[in-house]
Chains A and B, each alone.
Chain A
Amino acid sequence: MSRFHVLTVLSLVALGATSQAQPAPAVVAPALSIPSTVSAINSPTPMSQRVVWYQIAAKYDPKTHTLEGDETLTYHNLTGQPLDTFPFHLYLNGFQPKADWISETKRDGTRDVDFKKWEKSYYGADEIKTFEVVGQGDLTSQLQFIQPDDDNKEDHTVVQAKLKTPIPPDGYVQFKIKFHDQFPETLERTGWKRDFLLAGQWFPKVGVWWHGGWNCHQFHGSTEFFADFGMYDVKITVPQNEVVGASGIRVDEVNNADGTRTTTYHGEDIHDFAWTASPHYRIMDDTYQGTMGPIKLRIMMQPANWSQAQRHDDILRNTLDRFEKWYGPYPYKTLTMVDPEPGSAAEGMEYPTFITGGTNWFVPKGIKLPELVVEHEFGHQYWYGMVATNEFEDAWMDEGINSYSEVKVLDSVFGPRTSVFNLAGATMGDGELQFGSYAPVADLDPIARNGWEYVDFNSYAGITYGKTAIVLLTLENIIGEDTMQRAMHTYFMRYRFTHPTKDDFLKTLEEVSGKNLRWYFDQAFYGTQVLDFRVMKAESTPEDWYKDSFNEDKAKKGETEYLTDVIVQNRETFLMPVDVAIKFDNGETVREHWDGQTRWMRYVYHKKAKVESVEIDPDHKILFDRNNFNNSYTVEPNGTATSKLTNYWRFIQQFFAQMLTWWLV
């Protein structure tokens, strides 16, 4: 063989060897995705951009109130940029003595517990046992607690994972998390009481990428939650004697050999998942024909409250009717309403397609509090559930807008003066209730404030619920009920299944009304200005008062000329136009329009009649005037109302004096 031939052969052999030395092609993992199923909604297509898919298997031990969880979270990066850090909420860690939730609640108060003394049963925890990123390995040891809102290192309600490899835009990542929950004895509407459990905020939940960054706040005393839309597939294993209810639709139920039962739920286009278990529930099932399809109503009552099941069903149906007509369709196939364990702090809470009511074994029909709670929590299916605002930063956008629609619904069902209380001659409407919660805290905080920055819980509640409701009701009176309804409908349809901001809402109101409402928004939403109109003076003086011959007592009615002087005043700093009605004793009523931009306004009349009464805002359009008593003035006093109330007070005193003497002497 010539040298050439040897070289050729060697080259060919080398080429062949090189070819044979190339590594085998990599095994390609199946591509991650989030399904587009629509089995849990009455829609042919998904309603939201599904960012997350939670697949969770949870086993609950009612003896120790603990839960072992196995979570697979598939996340779709729709942020437009690569992501290598992911914060997760661990809300149950808020129920520890030095966490923000407990320390702020101890300082500012809350709706449930006063924390005079720390009980072991208050302790809650959501502990991540293992944290794996598929394709990147176990990152458990890399997890770090972070505190985005303050420097409280003892607060472990947000944990952050830093990935080895960023997830590209439009890419998917899958987290496999094993976690262990210790539920508290119901705090903030989650936890156990006797043999009942309400599991809310119970699994590690990824934050929301919003406006260019992660929005994942710590769990504060007066804040709620914020999460992305997606899908949930949850298997819940509990003892077989437990009756379970949850978000979404029930797809399977299996009795296990160890005496437990596993129930599987599936939810679509929702951003949270809650569930409950108790051996005691009695179930009422009903179907409501929604505009998009049938909705299964599942009402889970405590046995002692069974007589009120129909009341709960009725208000759900009435509320669905109004919401679908006024705002838009309810697209889910289910709604579960839970009557929680007596004495548990689990009443009055909302989760997507799952709400808790609040009642007692004896509530007369004239007291509408059970209906109010159910209506309010259902309303959150729209304002929070579908229009998924940031409950940390804009608590008013779900609580306040929902309180506004609560007044509208309850007034339409039960009448505006009797929508909360109508018993033994005493009445109260829901709008009045909202005013009552607002008035004591009127000048403390603006509506547009981060939820954890209110001065205390009373201000948070009074401003986010009460003030927002009456500010919106007043706006409705300004722009007209039809216009307001169109605006709310537009807002819902435009922003459902998204995370709108306050500007989105306020701009929608302006756009639909066609009015510049910035003067109102700046004061009502962003400011702490208070409104207090007052009739300062209403007096008629005879024009001929100076004449010796004049005797007013002998003057004939209708023949004497009077100079009437009326002064109305704005005592506070909220500036707004208002009507004033001046009534004379000849039956005439003069109506003036005051632009409200000055401290006071004087009206002078020359008439053959005396002023009888003056009323500011005679149509009662303004619902947040701090003092309603001084909005009107009658020249002749009428002491009957005072005498009536004094009579009641006197009766109470006499009875108290007699009872004191009855026992002691």
Chain B
Amino acid sequence: MAYNLNLISNGASILGRTKRYIIWFFLLNLALAWFGASAFKVHAARIMDHSLYADKVLHGMDLEVVGELLNRPELGGAEGCVASATHFALLFFVLTLIFLPGVLQGYASDHRLPRDAFFRACGRNVWRFFRLMIFFLIIGGIVSGILFGLQAGLGKVLDKSQSNGAVPFAANLVCLLVIFLIMTGIRAWFDLAETDIVLSDQNASRKSLSFAWRMMRGHRVRLVWAYAVITLLATIVLAVGVVLWNRIVPPASVAGAFIVSQLMLLFWLTARFWQRAAAVSFYLAQTAGREAESAPVVPVLAA
């Protein structure tokens, strides 16, 4: 268990000394969503800002009014808002793909990584990360496809035999948990591969993948456990945030809702970076051990 704690706490200490990366990504996430929501805001303002009917969502949340708003042709339809939101989400994803190598380089560095080194790491590895992402889509897609297929099959069997609606629900939850743990394991594997690409300057993504796979031998459970604990912490913070948002923030307080929601998102983002930092910490520990093992023993000649 001490090893587990090191994985999580080492990751946390890496985060602590590289807070700026999280702040930048958070601000990027917020800025892109701000732009992504601007179409909605402009159209909704035209409909609501001069209407007394809007009070029903200000001092409460009347779902019918929200539904009526979303169906107004002036809003441009749900498709328009979703399209712009999707584009900005994809942009955030692409920018993360581009800048993540620099982050991993910074995690591995024991000093503050200079800006030029950061961007060099980004530029050198963006195409490698893209290829690795394709591998993830293939491998993750096949594995998740099989797992979700099995889940659907189990659902059909239970539907034929079960009158108690709680049983299929519980079975689905268990299946989702299993799928989550397996996919988390695959994600951890790919995080290690990403780390190897950056720190070994490895051009062949396949080699990094097989290296990472071998590295995980004997440690898969611990890695998945560390990732799962971090996710669980983030989920708890999210749940607490939702409760606070609902119970404590006054319905008409936009500032209060904004602060609570952004804190929740900041912690959620931090959790993912925490997992990456834990992966880097594991990689460094494993490769340091190997370097020590492989260093030649110089015989000491008798005087």
Contact = CB atoms under 8 A, between A and B. Distances in A.
Interface of A: 194-196, 278, 280, 302-305, 341-343, 360-362, 417, 421, 424-429, 432-433, 435-436, 439-440, 613, 615, 627-635, 637-658, 660-665
Interface string B169-208: 1000000000000010001000000000000000000000
Given A342-B163, A432-B62, A638 B54 contact: yes
A589 to B, nearest CB: 13
A302 B163 CA distance: 8
A428 B64 contact: yes
Nearest to B51: A629
Nearest to A196: B163
A426 B66 CA distance: 10
26 contacts: A302-B163, A342-B165, A361-B169, A427-B62, A629-B51, A629-B53, A629-B68, A630-B51, A632-B51, A634-B50, A638-B54, A638-B58, A642-B44, A644-B252, A647-B261, A651-B264, A652-B85, A653-B36, A654-B29, A654-B33, A658-B265, A660-B90, A660-B93, A661-B93, A664-B133, A665-B129
A628 B57 CA distance: 13
B1 interface: no
From A421, A427, A432, A650, residue with most partner B Cβ within 10 Å? A650
B62 A428 contact: yes
Nearest to A440: B71
Given A425-B61, A647-B258, A657-B89, A633 B34 contact: no
B88 A662 contact: no
A630 B133 CA distance: 49
Given A194-B160, A665-B133, A646 B44 contact: yes
B154 interface: no
Contacts of B264: 651
B96 A613 contact: no
Given A631-B53, A664-B93, A665-B129, A432 B64 contact: yes
Contacts of A648: 257
A453 B252 CA distance: 46
Contacts of B88: 653, 657
A645 B44 contact: yes
**Which 4 pairs show the lowest CB-CB distances between chains A and B?**
A432-B64, A657-B89, A641-B54, A637-B49
Interface in B123-177: 129, 133, 136-137, 140, 159-166, 169
A195 B58 CA distance: 49
A657 B33 contact: yes
Contacts of B159: 343
Given A632-B53, A646-B37, A639 B45 contact: yes
Interface in B63-121: 63-69, 71-72, 81, 85, 88-90, 92-93, 96-97, 100
Given A303-B164, A657-B29, A661-B93, A643 B246 contact: no
A425 B72 CA distance: 23
Contacts of B165: 302, 304-305, 342, 360-362
Contacts of A304: 163-166
Given A429-B64, A663-B187, A665-B93, A655 B47 contact: no
A649 B58 contact: no
Contacts of B57: 641, 644-645
Given A342-B162, A631-B53, 10 more contacts: A195-B163, A361-B164, A362-B169, A427-B60, A435-B64, A643-B41, A650-B261, A655-B265, A663-B187, A665-B96
Nearest to B129: A665
Contacts of A629: 47-48, 51, 53-54, 68-69, 72
Given A360-B165, A417-B62, A428-B62, A656 B50 contact: no
A633 B264 CA distance: 36
Given A631-B53, A649-B81, A654-B30, A303 B163 contact: yes
A657 B53 contact: no
B222 interface: no
Nearest to B52: A632
B254 A647 contact: yes
From A280, A342, A417, residue with most partner B Cβ within 10 Å? A342
B45 A642 contact: yes
Nearest to A635: B50
A631 B55 CA distance: 13
Contacts of A278: 163
A661 B129 CA distance: 13
A646 B257 CA distance: 11
Contact of A662 (B71, B137, B140, B272): B272
Contact of A658 (B29, B45, B50, B166): B29
Nearest to A634: B50
A657 B32 contact: yes
Contacts of B40: 645-646, 649
B283 interface: no
B215 interface: no
Nearest to A663: B187
Given A641-B55, A645-B44, A645-B69, A663 B64 contact: no
Contacts of A656: 85, 89
Given A649-B81, A660-B93, A426 B61 contact: yes
A602 B45 CA distance: 26
A278 B163 CA distance: 10
B246 A633 contact: no
Contacts of B69: 629, 645
